[in-house]
Structure 1
Amino acid sequence: ICILWVFWLLRLPQLCSTCVAFSLVADMGTLRGAIGNWSMSFWCVCFAMTFIITIVECCRHPSSFPFFWYNISVTYACYAALICLSASIIYSITYVQFVHYGPYRDRAIAATAFSCIASVLYVIEVIFFYVHTMRALLKVLETFVAGVIFAFLSNTSLYLHQPALEWCVAVYSICFILAAVVLLLDLAEWKYMLPVPFSIFQLVLSLLSVLFYISALVLWPLYQFSEELGAQPQRPSDGDCRDELTYDMCAWDQRLAVAVLTAANLLVYVADLGYWARQVSVGTEDQPRDSQEVYSPNSDIL
Structure 2
Amino acid sequence: MDPHGGHYLNKDAVLSPLGAARMCQLLLGCTIMALVSHGAGYSASYGTFCMFVWCFCFAVTLVVFTLDITRLHNCMPISWDNFTVAFAMLATLMYITASVVYPVYFLQVEWPDEEWEVQIYRIAVTVCSSICCFPYGVEVFLTQAKPGAVVGYMATVSGLLKVVQAFVACIIFGALANDSEYNNYIATQYCVVVYSLCFSITVIVIVLTVSGRTSALRFPFDRFVVVYTFFAMILYLSTALIWPIFSFDKKYGTTTRPEDCPRGECPWDSKLVVAVFTSVNLILYFVDLLYSQRIRFISSSAA
Shorter-chain TM-score category? 0.7 to 0.9
Answer yes or no: is 1:100 the counterpart of 2:111: yes
Task: Find 1:141's aligned residue among 157, 164, 172.
Answer: 164
Could you state the TM-score of these two structures normalised by the residue count of structure 2? 0.81
Deviations 1:185-229 (A, max 9, x none): 333333233333233212221121111111211122112211111
Residue 267 (str. 1) matches residue 289 (str. 2): no
* 1:122 Cα deviation after fit: 0.7
Aligned with residue 144 of structure 2, among 114, 130, 153: 130
1:3 aligned to which of 8, 13, 16: 13
- Residue in 1 aligned with 2:259? 237
Q: Which residue of 1 aligns with 2:26?
A: 15
1:117 aligns with 2:128: no
If asked which structure has higher relative contact order (CA below 8 Å, sep 6+), I would say 1
Please state if 1:77 is matched with 2:91: no
> Percent of pairs identical after alignment?
31
Alignment of 1:46-195 (within 5 A): 46-60=57-71, 68-97=79-108, 100=111, 102-131=116-145, 132-195=155-218
How far did 1:235 drift? 1.9
Task: With the length of structure 1 as denominator, give the TM-score of the two structures.
Answer: 0.81
Q: Is the 8 A contact 2:180 2:271 kept in 1?
A: no
Deviations 1:10-30 (A, max 9, x none): 223312322332343445688
Report how many residues are paired.
280
Unpaired segments of 5 or more residues in structure 1? 242-247, 288-302
Q: Name the amino acid aligned to 1:168.
A: C
Tell me the residue number matched to 2:49. 38
Q: How far 1:66 sits from its partner (Å)?
A: 6.8
Q: Distance in 2 between matches of 1:98 and 1:226?
A: 35
Q: Is the 8 A contact 1:77 1:123 kept in 2?
A: yes
RMSD: 2.8
Deviations 1:37-91, CA, capped at 9 Å, x for gaps: 2211111111121122222223336766777112202210111011101111232
Structure 1 residue 232, shift from structure 2 partner: 2.2
Task: Return 83-92 or 100-109, whichever deviates more.
Answer: 100-109
The one-letter code of the counterpart of 1:137 is L
**Distance in 2, Cα, partners of 1:237 & 1:219:** 25
Using a 3 Å threshold, how does the CA distance of structure 1 residues 283 and 122 change in structure 2: closer, same or farther?
closer
Question: What CA distance in whole angstroms lies between the structure 1 residues aligned with 2:302 and 2:80?
Answer: 19
User: Structure 1 CA distance, aligned partners of 2:297 and 2:19?
Assistant: 45
Mean Cα displacement is larger for which, 141-150 or 264-273? Answer: 141-150
Partner amino acid for 2:288?
D
Amino acid in structure 2 at the alignment position of 1:125: E
- Alpha-carbon contact 1:81-1:122 (below 8 Å) kept: yes
